[in-house]
Amino acid sequence: MSTIFDRNRFMLKSVLLPIAVMTLAAAPAARASSVVIWPVDPTISENQKATAIWIENKGKERVTLQVRAFSWSQSAGENVLSQQADLVASPPMAEVEPGGRQLVRLVRRAEASDTPEAAYRLLIDELPAAPATDAETLQAQLRVQMRYSIPLFVYGSKQENVSPQLEARIVAAPSGPMLSIRNSGSRHARLSDLRGLSGGKEALIKSGLAGYVLPGSSIQIPLPPGSFDQFQVNVNGSNQTLAFQA
């Protein structure tokens, strides 16, 4: 996978699931990742200086992991990660033995600000093992590198009346109609189980996680054929009917 850097910022379209990075290189065997990470939705409240995640190796081989924290914003429907120095991971590198666990602390370096919420992404990269030297193995094997991207939200000192405020409208795109959802509120919206209603009938548009909408940002979700009168979605754990602009 190639990533294009623009100074200290880069775009990542794949945000929620592990990214399998395939490179022509040697490995004893091409294998799926055996790393388990929890919690998958860490937060740091206004009264906390740090939080933590656990990384567990359920495989039979030692894994080496790199943990980095990036500032997270959204621009034109894309997720933008930027280098920052306000949040650090400790340790930033870890070797986890088979059956072992590693605690990684995520530390806020500054006092809580007036900003209601700051969004970050944790990139956890499983680094490849040393390449094999056998020529046939070099030609025949693929190395799989797993990348995990986990959202982390850090909350400031002002938490009164902090909530997402969502509006939806249908927009045209070359690939077909899209549901554009904008968040004009002061807290992120985690969207899941998106449904469309038409004539009293409900159609499931996106099962499970549909995406995140950060404050002041918008995302677009492809729509299936048909017309819809309303849209309903689970927002941060509660079902909500979206304010809809036809």
pLDDT for the residue numbered 55: 97
Give this prediction's pTM.
0.82
pLDDT for the residue numbered 128: 83
Range with the poorest average pLDDT among 20-29, 76-85, 98-107: 20-29
Which residues, listed in sequence order, are joined to residue 6 by a DSSP beta bridge?
9
- How does pLDDT run across 183-235, given as a tens digit for each residue? 999 999 999 999 999 988 999 999 999 999 999 999 999 999 888 999 999 99
pLDDT for the residue numbered 136: 54
Task: Give the span between the Cα atoms of 105 and 88, in whole angstroms.
Answer: 8
Residue 82 pLDDT > 90: yes
Residue of higher predicted confidence among 63 and 159 = 63
Task: Give the span between the Cα atoms of 219 and 76, in whole angstroms.
Answer: 8
Which residues, listed in sequence order, are joined to residue 20 by a DSSP beta bridge?
146
Q: State the CATH class of domain 166-245.
A: mainly beta
Range with the poorest average pLDDT among 4-13, 78-87, 220-229: 4-13
Residue of higher predicted confidence among 168 and 143 = 168
- Per-position DSSP letters for 135-203, written without gaps between them: HHHHHH-EEEEEEEEEEEEEE-S--TT----EEEEEE--TTS-EEEEEE-SSS-EEEEEEEEEETTEEE
pLDDT for the residue numbered 243: 86
- How does pLDDT run across 119-136, given as a tens digit for each residue? 999 999 999 876 656 665
Categorise residue 200: left if φ over 0, alpha if ψ from -120 to 50, beta otherwise. Answer: left
Half-sphere exposure (Cβ direction) of 198: Cα atoms closer than 13 Å: 9
Q: What percent of the chain has pLDDT over 70?
A: 80
Q: Does domain 5-155 have CATH number 2.60.40.10?
A: yes
**116-147 as b/e: b if 16+ CB within 10 A:** bbbbbbbbbbbeeeeeeeeeeeeeebebbbbb
pLDDT for the residue numbered 73: 98
- What torsion do the CA atoms of 106, 68, 70, 78 make, to the nearest 10 degrees? -130
Q: Give 110's pLDDT tier (boundaries 50, 70, 90).
A: confident
pLDDT for the residue numbered 145: 73
Task: Give the span between the Cα atoms of 159 and 103, in whole angstroms.
Answer: 29
pLDDT for the residue numbered 246: 63
- Counted residue by residue, the chain has a size of 246
Domain boundaries, the chain: 5-155, 166-245
The mean predicted confidence, pLDDT, of the chain is: 84
pLDDT for the residue numbered 113: 83
Show contacts of 132-137: CB within 8 Å, 24+ apart: 132/26, 132/27, 132/28, 133/26, 134/26, 137/26, 137/27, 137/28
pLDDT for the residue numbered 159: 79
Query: Do the two domains 5-155 and 166-245 of this chain adopt the same fold?
Result: yes
Residues 86/109, Cβ–Cβ less than 8 Å: yes
pLDDT for the residue numbered 61: 92
